[in-house]
Structure 1
Amino acid sequence: MIEKIKFLKNLAVFNDFDWDSAVIDDSSNVLLLKKTNIIYGRNYSGKTTLSRVIRAMETGSISEKYENPECCISIHDNDDVTQVDFSSHNKVIRVFNDDFIKQNLKFIINPNENVEPFAILGGDNNVIEEEIKVLKEKLGVNEENQETALYKDLKSLQKSYDTAKLVHQTAERTLASQLNEKAIGNPNGIKYNSEKYGDQNYTNAKLRKEILVVKKDEFVPISDEEKTAEEKMLLEQAKDDIPDLKELILSFEIFSTKTKELVEKPIAQSDKIEDLVKDAVLNRWVKEGRDLHKDKLDTCAFCSSEIKETRWDELEKHFDEESDKLEKEITDLVTEIKNESKLLDSIKIIKKDDFYSKYHGEFETAKAAFDNSIINYQRTLGLLISQLEKRKNEIINAQLFEAPDNAKSHVDIAVEKIEELRVKSNEYTEKLSKDQEKAKKKLRLREIYDFIATIKYNEQVANIDLLKTKLEEEKKKRDDKQVEIDDVLSQVSEKQRQLKDESKGADKVNELLNNYFGHNFLSLKAIEFEDEDTGNKHYRFEIHRENKKAFHLSEGENSLIAFCYFMAKLQDIETKGKKPIIWIDDPISSLDSNHIFFIYTLINTQIYGEDDFEQLFISTHNLNFLKYLKRLPNANNDDKKSERKKLYRYLVIERNDKKSSIKIMPNYLRDYVSEFNYLFSQIYKCSTMENVDDSSYTAFYNFGNNARKFLELYLYYKYPDSTSPMDKMKKFFGDENIPAVFTDRLNNEYSHLSGVFERGETVVEVPEMNTAAKLIIERIKEEDFDQYEALLTSIGESQ
């Protein structure tokens, strides 16, 4: 059964309906649908929209004119049905609404169209019917816990199959769980111990594959001693590759060549001061004095004697441009040599910890050789600097260059040794990684070998194979029995097709029209015709009046024919015997009270009399029809039952402006089914509320119409004469004209607008509504207190 309509969104007036928050009792318990569900709703409240949602479960789709509709229908023992797939259920659904009429009774829209034919089982071939009876007896009953014959056998075989399947699945799951724990279980699984077993991406599939490896006869696991050795190897951490040494560029040859050139470079002797040439110290002293005095002092700072111009000329010729240039070149070269020597002090070479410990001794030797070569090289550079400084101090006199040993070659040799060691270390890294990977695989396979022995893997697999064989045997027995049942069902269907008679469908509609409504002058005829393409004979249904195709049917006649057609169609070969869920949406449109009663009688006898349905929904806007529905079988005693055992659910659809909601039907509407009671309840609600909220908005919005209808009914029976409505109002309210005129104005303007069309565009004036409601209630209380008390009781209110 459908248990509830969980939610509706973007479906006409159902903008955002939620069952669990709307369909609740006084204790806020969520209530579910029952076998019979009576729904009351005023016109335009959303009854047809609701029926369209259910009909989508019958047809598989809903109107494309709904923009982004969302819905969810909860069905017992079935997944929820949503707008994604309306066919995701196993229920037989039959819905009577406007869409059903438009699809099947096209003549209502276009008089030249016909009625869709349908076939029911004929009654002329007794032999075939008897054969069908025998076949059905062979099949037996297929109701839960009441199965008989073949269905009982199938249930027993299904139970045996389910048991075998459960035992087999349990054995498989047990082994799978053990394998899963070993492969990827955290923290003891192989995957989470990759530092020992390798492969941090280990999976169940890899474990199953390696189980096959260790089960082979040729596989020999490592011994305990080998296992210990492999585990120790894994403790050695692989180091990152040592990067290439930065190229060390030394300029000894260049410095040596330049030093020789500058030390031995001669200076011209002409115009030189002889004393200064012979004494280098004096020469340096005079040069410094010259630099201190030139362009600064005219007298000697040492002796205070005047420095004559001729002396300046002699000094300028002695300290000429050539000697200044040589001195500068010597200074620049010394700076370059010192910079290189200083650079060597800060040079960074590979650290010992970059190498594996087995290479530490070799590295220390190579590093010491490198350090010594650097010291020797710096010492050699110092010899070059000494010769340059000596020439600089005796700039005028060329010196003999003494070439030192080339210490650069020793540096190159030391660097080469370290480079060779670096390459060896890196190569060992690669070898260690491979060796450790091999060790991890050996340890992993040994672990798997021990594991399958511990869990008795072979015994489990053998047992699972035996259980699978048993399962397949039980499956075959069940499937063979199902094939036997399907074969019998096929025979039944074939024989039913032999009995199929579409003319009987029309006869059934006519039977309902005549027996229940007395319409002998209207009938449905099955017209036989031949398909031009296939030559096969078919039927079409036509509405006839006095043996002629009928046109211009009244709305009432259309409604009667449509509903009789639907009721007869419940007997077609696609529905009969399949326990459908039936939804009937407002079947009494344009019918008088007599026909309304016949509609109720038809539902009572044809649906409840046959008892061939799983669930029934009936919606209506007519309170008179609602009164009859309360007489359906067991409806009167239903209220006395516990919630769990109730067969009926009474609901009401309430519309507030542009939004509708489904709620539990109020007691007064369910127990005292009369429009008079309902209208009184709405007026009484307006008289007790002074503010508009979501719960009271509808009562205020419809006040004018409700008050007008109530007063028409009340005053007609109070003053059953030809007095005008206004005079009756004056009699009712007393001698004062104001209450009568005031109430009449509200009733007419808010009910019919009465020329004040802008009233339809403005917000309802609550104070006026409240005042008018109080006037009506108070006057009834004064005029007829007994009736007032009875009305209060009927709507669940107390004095």
Structure 2
Amino acid sequence: MITKFKRIKNLGVFKDFDWDKTVRDKNEDNIIIFKKLNILYGRNYSGKTTLSRIVRALETGQISDKYEDPECCISLEDSTDVTQVNFTTHSKTVRVFNEDFIEDNLKFIFDPNESVEAFAILGEGNNEIEKEIEDLKKDLGSNKEDSETGFYKDLKTLKTLHETAKNSYSDAEESLNKHLKNKATGQPNGIKYQSKYEEVNYNINKLKLDIESVKTDSYQPLNEQEESQAENVLKEETKDEIPKLESLNLRFSEFQTKASELVNRKIGQSDKIQELAKDAVLNRWVKEGKELHQDNRNICSFCNNPISEERWGELDKHFDEESDKLEKDINDLVSQIDDEKELLDEYVIFTKDQIYSKFRGDFYSTKDSYITDVENYISSLELIKKQLISKKKNILNHQVFTDVDDFSADVENTKDKLEEIRTNSNEYSSKLDSDQNEAKKKLRLKEVHDFINDIRYDDLITELDSLAEKEKNERNKKDAKQDKIDKLLKNISEKQKELKDESKGADKVNEYLNDHFGHEFLTMKAIEFEDEETGNDIYRFEIRREGKKAYHLSEGEKSLIAFCYFVAKLQDIATKEKNPIIWIDDPISSLDGNHIFFIYSLLKIKIYNSKDFEQIFISTHNLNFFKYLQRLPSHNDKKKDRVRHFIIERKDKISIISEMPDYIKRNVTEFNHLFKQIVDCSNLGQLTDQNYTLLYNFGNNARKFFEIYLFYKYPDASNQTEKMRKFFGEDEIPTVLTDRINNEYSHLAGTFERGQQPIEVPEMKKAAELIVKKLENWDKDQFDALMSSVQ
């Protein structure tokens, strides 16, 4: 069955119609769908024919090319949706009566030189073929809903099994897709919304590609250390270029050579004061004293004794120029060593913050080596310096220099390694973008790898594949059975073609015209002639009046013939026993009241009562015809599972479909509606914003109700007041009260100031109660019928 017009766009007055947003119940909680019987009411030009054209596209496979960029989506029960792209993707038999049907099949109505398309219904005779058809039908079984037999019963069972397997597969697939969707685009933790990945266009399809990547044999997920490094790479910002390290030019070899010469240098021993030569401390003390007394050569500042010229001569010879030079050379070399140490102390290398994180591991280890090598180098300088100072303190005595380890090469090597790190870091700036992109990819794939492990992705895929295989098997079984049924149907159809009789189609139209409408003078005749192209004998129908081809048909005659033709065509060999979906669009155009009833009776007896349909839709703009349609047995279906009423409303240039209001659906006439308003007013309790209109409309409602009721009750020339007295009897009070309300509150007659005052609730309620009570007591049959119609 058709369940809804899911979407209609650019089709006539349906500009952008969305069923789920519009067609809801009174509380707007539930979406309403089509049922087996569907009645649609709408004024002319509201869009009824447009809907019929959409459904007819399911029958013909195409829709009018006069629509510009049309879009529609029709939902079918137990089938995929059908759209404007392909109207043939369904297996339903659809028959539509509308003006397009008439134009395609009854061309004579529009052009007297044309005829009417012939159709064949099953003829009589050939018992053998009929027996074969019956046997085939027996194997085929019945396709009546809830009472299937034969192959149809088997097919129904297989459809149920397939639907169960299909639902299991769909549920599993939906569950997996939900996991994938949450990981791909779920907020806030989906990959799309994690800023570190910068994947604003990431979606479920890209996630599936990543899953394929991490499931390859070559993929290795990041370990904890690699993950940390990748995270650090993402945090990097482009660094400023680090200047080149200054050259060191260490002089250790030079210092050691000079120190060795100075420490090993011998001072001549002639003219030396042996006492001082043997005591280095004393020698240093005397030397310092000599220097202090250069300006006071006569008196010793320590002992206050005179210093003889002879003593000065001995001291000058002892502390000669050779020893002074050696001491000076030692001081110079010590000073140079101190400068070298100061150079190393003040030598600046770059910091960890100046280089990229990927080089910091090497930087830390190389820096530690550099510090150690510098410390060793300085220690060696200190050992040289120590020997020099020792020589200086005991300059007269011979000493042997001890070689010291040279760490200058180590310092240079570690400094070169730092320089290499600096160079690599500077060069890395140009590679940062590509490395960050690679880090993002590795981190993303690591997250995807962890994700599929967490949800047991492989197990889910295995289960899904198993369910897909089961669904496929059940579908194949169902399709095989359907193929068998289709072959049987084709065989039956071919057998039936052998029995076809176009003349019977015309006779069926005449039967409806004569029996239901009494048009004995208007008939349809099957005319046989030879097709010029094929040479085969073919039929065309011709409309005749009194034995001659009919011309100048009235609009009413056209409507009757067209509908009788449609009803008869439902019996053709392409439709009969196919349980079609039937759409009848406003079949009572230009017909009077009698013919409207005849159309209804033909529809009810030949279509509805036959039950040879899957679903039926009837649309109309005529309230009289709508009143008759309410008599169909399903109209009063209390469970609301067989019939639905809809209203099509046009507002300016746009139409919508909605549930039919109760005041149209329940009230057969305005008379019933007016009576309900009076009853509701009589039962009124507390006045609220929701029910106050009952009081304000009461005057008009009561006046119109009495005009209708009293006219048919007393169809004489007496005035309204006299008729009301007859209705209420001898008691004048109800008559006067009711008449006053009817006039003053309906017309403000003679009391214009009444319109400036609020409604009197007790007065209205009392009048309503009087009317209801009087009608119940005085005209019980009429009262019961009215009450039944409004409940």
TM-score interval (norm. to shorter): 0.5 to 0.7
Q: Distance in 2 between matches of 1:119 and 1:156?
A: 34
Indicate conservation of the 8 Å contact 2:544/2:550, yes or no.
yes
Name the SS for the 2:117 alignment partner.
coil
Choose which of 663, 666, 685 in structure 1 pairs with 2:662. Answer: 666
1:749 alignment counterpart: none
SS of alignment partner, residue 512 of structure 1: helix
Change (3 A) 1:93 1:481: closer
Identity within the alignment, %: 45
Distance 1:628 1:21, change over 3 A: same
Alpha carbons of 1:742 and 1:346: their partners in 2 closer, same or farther (altered >3 Å)?
farther
The residue correspondences of 1:347-496 to structure 2 (distance < 5 A) are: 348-349=349-350, 355=362, 359-360=366-367, 363-364=370-371, 418-419=415-416, 422-423=419-420, 484-496=484-496
Aligned 8 A contact 2:122 2:501 in 1: yes
1:539 Cα deviation from its structure 2 partner: 2.7
**Distance of 2:508 and 2:208 partners within structure 1:** 71
Match of 1:133 in 2: 134
From the superposition, tell whether residues 731 and 15 of structure 1 become closer, same or farther in structure 2 (CA, over 3 Å). farther
Q: Secondary structure at the match of 2:511?
A: helix
Partner of 1:402: none
Distance 1:136 1:545 in 2: 40
CA distance in 1, matches of 2:594, 2:138: 43
Map of 2:589 onto structure 1:
589
One-letter code aligned to 1:488: L
For the Cα contact (< 8 Å) 1:355–1:425, is it kept in 2?
Answer: no
Matched, 1:555 2:555: yes
AA at the equivalent of 1:586:
D
Report the residue type matching 1:662 in the other structure. S
Moved more, 566-575 or 554-563: 566-575
Q: 1:552: Cα distance to partner?
A: 0.7
Structure 1: segments with no counterpart, 5+ residues:
193-199, 215-229, 253-340, 373-409, 431-436, 687-692, 747-765
CA contact (8 A) 1:47 1:585 kept: yes
Partner of residue 613, structure 2:
613
- Tell me the amino acid that sits aligned with residue 673 of structure 1: V
2:217 to 210, 223, 231: 210
Normalization by structure 1: what TM-score?
0.52
- Cα separation, 2, equivalents of 1:53 and 1:695: 41
SS of the equivalent of 2:544 reads strand
CA contact (8 A) 2:582 2:615 kept: yes
The whole-number CA distance in structure 1 between the counterparts of 2:647 and 2:162 is 47
Q: Is the 8 A contact 2:165 2:470 kept in 1?
A: yes
Distance change (3 Å), C-alpha of 1:147 and 1:534? same
3-state SS of paired residue (1:588): coil
- Say which SS state the counterpart of residue 590 (structure 2) adopts: coil
Shift of 1:566: 0.9
CA deviations on 1:490-537 (whole Å, 9 max, x unpaired) are 322322333344333222212221222222222222333433333344
State the alpha-carbon separation in 2 of the partners of residues 246 and 146 from structure 1. Answer: 93
C-alpha distance 59-412 of structure 1, shift in aligned 2 (>3 A): farther
Equivalent position SS for 2:599: helix
**Per-residue CA shift, 1:454-501, capped at 9, x if unaligned?**
x9x99x99x999999999998887776665544433322322333344
Looking at structure 1, the residues matched to 17 and 474 of structure 2 have their Cα atoms a distance apart, in angstroms, of 50
* Corresponding residue SS for 1:112: coil
In 2, the alpha carbon distance for the partners of 1:530 and 1:364 equals: 114
- The SS at the match of 2:116 is coil
C-alpha separation in 1, matches of 2:166 and 2:3? 31
Counterparts of 1:144 and 1:12, CA distance in 2: 36
Question: How far apart in 2 are the matches of 1:589 and 1:478?
Answer: 45
2:574 paired with 1:574: yes
- Partner Cα distance (2:525, 2:558) in 1: 16
| Distance in 1 of aligned mates of 2:536 and 2:229 | 88
Greater Cα shift, 601-610 or 479-488: 479-488
**1:68 to 1:680, Cα distance in 2 relative to 1, 3 A:** farther
Query: What is the total number of aligned residue pairs between the two structures?
Result: 580
Does structure 2 retain, via aligned residues, the 8 Å contact 1:369–1:414? no
CA distance in 1, matches of 2:588, 2:208: 70
Equivalent residue of 1:590, what SS?
coil
Check conservation: 2:115, 2:540, Cα contact below 8 A. yes
Whether 1:647 and 2:642 are equivalent positions in the alignment is yes
What displacement does 1:81 show?
Answer: 5.2
SS of match in other structure, 1:540 = strand
Q: 2:498 is paired with a residue of what secondary structure?
A: helix
Deviation at 1:567, TM superposition (A): 0.4
* TM-aligned CA deviation for residue 96 of structure 1: 1.8
Aligned counterpart, 1:534: 534
**1:544 to 2:548 alignment:** no
Per-residue deviation, 1:568: 1.0
SS in 2 for 1:576: coil
- CA change 1:512–1:145 in 2 (3 A) is closer
Q: Specify the SS of the correspondent of 1:617.
A: strand
Counterpart amino acid of residue 362 in structure 2: F
The amino acid across from 1:122 in the alignment is: G
Distance in 1, matches of 2:149 and 2:633, equals 29
1:133-152 to structure 2, matched below 5 A, reads 133-142=134-143, 148-151=149-152
Q: Following superposition of structure 1 onto structure 2, how do residues 590-739 of structure 1 map, counting pairs within 5 Å?
A: 590-633=590-633, 638-639=637-638, 643=639, 647-652=642-647, 662-666=658-662, 670=666, 673-674=668-669, 676-677=671-672
- 1:55-74 equivalent positions in 2, closer than 5 A: 55-60=56-61, 62=63, 74=75
Distance 1:486 1:72, change over 3 A: closer
Distance 2:20 2:375 in 1: 88
Q: CA, structure 1 residues 108+796, in 2 after alignment: closer, same or farther (shift >3 Å)?
A: same
**Change over 3 Å in CA distance of 1:684–1:586 after alignment to 2:** farther
User: Residues 163 and 44 of structure 1: is their aligned pair in 2 closer, same or farther, counting only changes over 3 Å?
Assistant: closer
Deviation readout 1:372-422 (Å, 9 max, x if unpaired):
9xxxxxxxxxxxxxxxxxxxxxxxxxxxxxxxxxxxxx9999878734665
Write the deviation string for residues 219-275 of structure 1: whole angstroms up to 9, x where unpaired: xxxxxxxxxxx989979979999999745799x9xxxxxxxxxxxxxxxxxxxxxxx
Give, in whole Å, the separation in 2 of the partners of 1:143 and 1:592: 37
Structure 2 counterpart SS, 1:589: coil
- How much has 1:559 moved relative to structure 2? 0.9
- Cα distance in 1 for residues equivalent to 2:464 and 2:49: 57
- Whichever residue aligns with residue 418 of structure 1, its letter is K
C-alpha contact (below 8 Å) 2:584/2:619 kept by paired residues: yes
TM-score, normalising length from structure 2?
0.53
Gaps of 5+ in 2: 195-206, 250-341, 353-358, 380-406, 429-437, 682-688, 726-740, 749-754
Say whether the 8 Å CA contact 2:103–2:110 is kept in structure 1. yes
SS state at 1:355 partner: helix
Shift of residue 554 of structure 1?
0.7
CA-CA distance at 1:208 after TM superposition = 5.6
1:173-230 deviations in Å (ceiling 9; x for gaps): 9xx99xx9xx99x99xxxx9xxxxxxx999554566539x99xxxxxxxxxxxxxxx9
SS at match of 1:611: coil
* Alignment deviations for residues 732-790 of structure 1 (CA, whole Å, 9 cap, x no partner): 999xxxx99999999xxxxxxxxxxxxxxxxxxx99xx9xxx9xx99x979x9789996
In structure 2, the residue corresponding to 1:210 is in which secondary structure?
Answer: coil
The alpha-carbon distance between structure 1 residues 598 and 9, as it changes in their structure 2 partners (threshold 3 A), is same
Change (3 A) 1:742 1:621: farther
Match of 1:375 in 2: none
Matched residue type, 2:128 = V
Give, as a single letter, the amino acid of the residue that structure 2 aligns with 1:103.
D
8 Å contact kept, 2:493–2:573: no
